[in-house]
Homo-oligomer: A and B are copies of this chain.
């Protein structure tokens, strides 16, 4: 649907289907102050900004961030922080997150290598079986 500004809007069910989650989850994110959609009467109306935010929430989750951490990142991102103290705190946080991401990259690399080995051993054995079987 479109609202009065000719922007696309979504119902809770549409978003749930698109991202393959339940409406319950979306309402829960709102309860945790991660979303704040408009309303028409009681019904929630999500604009594109909300949709993007939801996408970010799910991406954060896949990376193992808790909802509280995600909320933190949002506040960090949204805040029109002006004081030097706030700005420096922000830089510190981004650096922390960056460190975690680097660690995860390492972890993924090592796991991929291990998967390679498992797969190789596996293929070898399969080839062996084929040979004997024929």
**Measuring CB to CB, which residues of chain A are less than 8 angstroms from any residue of chain B?**
59-60, 62-64, 76-77, 81-82, 84, 87-88, 90-91, 94, 97-98, 101, 103-105, 107-108, 110-112, 114-115, 118-119, 122-123, 125-126, 129
- Could you tell me if B118 and A76 are in contact, using CB atoms closer than 8 angstroms? yes
Residues in chain B near residue A59, CB distance under 8 A: 107, 110-111
Given A98-B112, A118-B94, also A129-B62 (CB < 8 A):
no
Q: Which of B60, B107, B112, B123 contacts A62 (CB 8 A)?
A: B107
Measured between alpha carbons, how far is A129 from B85 in the docked complex, in Å? 11
Measured between alpha carbons, how far is A14 from B126 in the docked complex, in Å? 41
Measured between alpha carbons, how far is A63 from B110 in the docked complex, in Å? 11
Q: Which of B63, B103, B111 contacts A107 (CB 8 A)?
A: B63
